[in-house]
Amino acid sequence: MARRRRPAFNSKGKKADDYSVRLRFILADLAPVGFARSGFQKNDKFYPAGRNFFNCSELPLLIFLSLSVLGTAGSPLEFEIDAGSFHLPFLIDGLSALFLLLLAVLTLAATVFSVDFVKNYEAEKIWKFYLALPFFIGGLAGLLTVDDLGPGFTLAWQLMVISSYFLVRGGRPAKVSARPALIYLIFMETAWLLITGSAFLAAGYQFGDSLATIGLKLASS
């Protein structure tokens, strides 16, 4: 078998064919982890991201959920994730399905264009960036589909906020990004308290009631 050739380097230590490296990174981003691992050398700058789970893993699920509703003339899709007494209700109607499809497009665009964004990052920063990005996208998808202002909303909100906090912190040096990231975190957590707390204005509200139940209780109070 022919031995795999290492990428060529010039005198400054950079790869001679930079675009081929970026293309290889994008393909690994859209492929299973095993393929991504085989496509990177351990001394490759992008190896930490390649060995992590691929960042477009949410794409098939987002597209499937969106088209399963849009393909049925907007007929809502309802389901729950139960774990004992803990349950997360989800509702996908025509509007949320449309936004899920838009989120899938933005996810693909963010994954592709982030390659240039992180090209000058250290390997550790790249690994952290591509670890936080899927959780951020997952949090956004949860906010579009969750059907309560309790556990489901809280989980989706915290996924979005905490992951985006690390994305803000990692985008610039710590001295520059620490204060803006902290202010962002405080504002977002305050917003979460106000949103979840407002549901208790409905008489008889229980933490975890669906949005439809909250609406009925508000109408009758």
**205-217: pLDDT as tens digits:** 988 888 888 888 8
Closest CA to 193 of 147, 145, 161: 161
pLDDT at res. 124: 73
pTM, full prediction: 0.72
Q: How confident is the model at residue 16 (pLDDT cuts 50, 70, 90)?
A: very low
Share of the chain above pLDDT 90, in %: 28
Structure tokens at 25: 């990174």
pLDDT at res. 117: 76
Distance in angstroms (rounded) separating the CA atoms of residues 152 and 19: 42
Show contacts of 151-154: CB within 8 Å, 24+ apart: 151/86, 151/87, 151/88, 151/207, 151/208, 152/88, 152/89, 152/90, 152/208, 153/195, 153/196, 154/192, 154/196
Distance in angstroms (rounded) separating the CA atoms of residues 8 and 17: 7
Residue 78 phi/psi, 5-degree rounding, is -120, 140
Arithmetic mean of pLDDT over the chain: 75
User: Within the chain, where are the H helices?
Assistant: 18-29, 33-38, 47-50, 59-70, 94-117, 123-145, 151-171, 174-198, 211-220
Structure tokens at 141: 């998808």
86-112 average pLDDT score: 88
Top mean-pLDDT range of 3-12, 22-31, 80-89: 80-89
pLDDT at res. 30: 41
pLDDT at res. 145: 93
